[in-house]
Amino acid sequence: MSWPAQVTGQRVSAELYVEVQQFYARQMPLLEERRLEEFLETFTEDGSIEHRPGGWRIEGREQLLAEMRQRRGDPDQPLVEEVSAREAREKNIAYYDGLVYRYWFDRMRVEPLGEGALRVRYQAIVSMTDFAGKVSFEPTTVVEDVLVGVEGELYTRSRLVTHDSPNWADKIHNPS
């Protein structure tokens, strides 16, 4: 794979664009399946995830793992009570218990940043399917990732999630 050589121009090659697509197609199902250690191995050691506005920023695989272990829940557990993202963090509630969540990305823009790094901008929405089959959606977001190539593999160095609702963190995410 020669992708670091391909990012010298202003437009990325089709090969690199497709590799980025396939990277996310490997990465995100790991999060959806709660394979948290494997998911975080697709981040750099100092990788970070930040939520705006009024959210939080967590840096480092260990710190991200600690946060995710407490929040990501289990689809086979009973459905989580009605709770907001902020309340779930404060009260240590497994936010996604009883839910299968899936991320839907669109409008992916891939731009070279130089030195083998890429900026990837996309919009995202999370669907939640509960045990009975009810489907609901979290508010939409715009995400900006920085990806880096290390020994021929892509890794996420940072993920900045900007929520389209300023009240996203206080919204009940699974209203009945």
Please report, as ranges, the residues that interact with a second copy according to CB under 8 A: 1, 11-15, 17-19, 21-22, 24-26, 28-29, 75, 100, 102-110, 121-123, 125, 127, 129-135, 137-140, 142, 164-168, 171
At closest approach, how far in Å is the CB of 140 from a second copy? 5
Instruction: Compute how many other C-beta atoms are within 10 angstroms of the C-beta atom of residue 128.
Output: 19
At closest approach, how far in Å is the CB of 63 from a second copy? 26
CB nearer to a second copy: pick between 38 and 130:
130
Which CA distances in Å does 136 have to 95, 103, 105, 133?
14, 12, 16, 10
CB nearer to a second copy: pick between 46 and 109:
109
Helix (H) or strand (E) holding 124: strand 117-130
CB nearer to a second copy: pick between 3 and 43:
3
Phi, psi of 117 (to 5 degrees): -105, 155
CB nearer to a second copy: pick between 63 and 127:
127
* Closest among 111, 78, 114 to 96, alpha carbons compared: 78
CB nearer to a second copy: pick between 114 and 133:
133
At closest approach, how far in Å is the CB of 62 from a second copy? 27
**Pairwise CA distance, residues 155 & 76, whole Å:** 30
At closest approach, how far in Å is the CB of 157 from a second copy? 21
**Pairwise CA distance, residues 32 & 127, whole Å:** 11
Which CA distances in Å does 44 have to 19, 48, 58, 156?
18, 8, 13, 6
At closest approach, how far in Å is the CB of 11 from a second copy? 7
